[in-house]
Amino acid sequence: MNRPIIIGVAGGSGSGKTTLADMIISRLSDRKVSLIEEDAYYKSFPNLTLEERKRLNYDHPDAFDHDLLCEHLEKLLRSEPIEKPVYSFITYDRTGETVRVEPAPVIIVEGILVLADFRLRSLLDIKLFVDTDPDVRFIRRLMRDVKERGRTLESVVQQYLEVVRPMHLQFVEPTKRYADLIIPEGGLNQVAVDLIVSRIKG
């Protein structure tokens, strides 16, 4: 197999990164695509209590095990399968289970800080940043965290104001400068999706 194309999809929480990745995958139905979520690589803190883990800053670059993520991408580049960790947003910890990811011609890495780490950026062939208005991102995050992650309205608002927003301004937003393409509204931007798919197909 030729060297896979690795696409990095970055952007703030709720910006539409997953939607963009899904749109690219659906448009590449004629070839296999492996999806790697940065969220799966949150560091594990098994010695902390649940309440202590809840108070950790999960929007800081240090919250992610980018060493393991880079190691896994390098394995996929060598046509070796990986065991991707499974992370629980209910327990704020890895479950101990893994998901086998096979090598593929196209690999998409999606997460808020995939452009923040130099080693990770150096492995990416196409670097994308999804740029969406803050109010839209917050509403999407609020709905997702309440419906899918069992959070309360109050906890989501508090976390956004105290952690998510300042971390976005400090760490996520500045990574725009590393992007090959800045995409307003993510997967809803059909012109951008067409350009990306055309570039992948060559």
Q: What single-letter DSSP state applies at residue 176?
A: G
Residue ranges in the chain whose pLDDT is less than 50: none
User: Residue 29: its pLDDT value, please?
Assistant: 84
User: Residue 97: its pLDDT value, please?
Assistant: 97
User: How far is Cα of residue 125 from the mean position of the Cα atoms in its chain?
Assistant: 16
User: Residue 94: its pLDDT value, please?
Assistant: 95
pTM: predicted TM-score of the whole model, two decimal places: 0.91
User: Residue 1: its pLDDT value, please?
Assistant: 54
User: Residue 110: its pLDDT value, please?
Assistant: 97
**Residue 191: its H or E element:** helix 190-201
Do residues 189 and 119 lie in contact, with contact meaning Cβ atoms separated by under 8 Å?
no
Q: How far apart are CA 181 and CA 47, in angstroms?
A: 41
Q: What is the pLDDT of residues 130-173, one digit of tens each?
A: 998 999 999 988 998 898 888 899 988 998 999 999 999 999 99
User: Residue 30: its pLDDT value, please?
Assistant: 80
Instruction: Give the gyration radius of the chain's Cα atoms.
Output: 17
C-alpha distances in angstroms, 119 versus 9, 70, 71, 123, 177?
15, 7, 10, 7, 16
Do residues 92 and 111 lie in contact, with contact meaning Cβ atoms separated by under 8 Å?
no
Q: What is the pLDDT of residues 115-127, one digit of tens each?
A: 999 999 999 999 9
| Domains of the chain (ranges, CATH numbers) | 5-201 (3.40.50.300)
User: Residue 202: its pLDDT value, please?
Assistant: 76
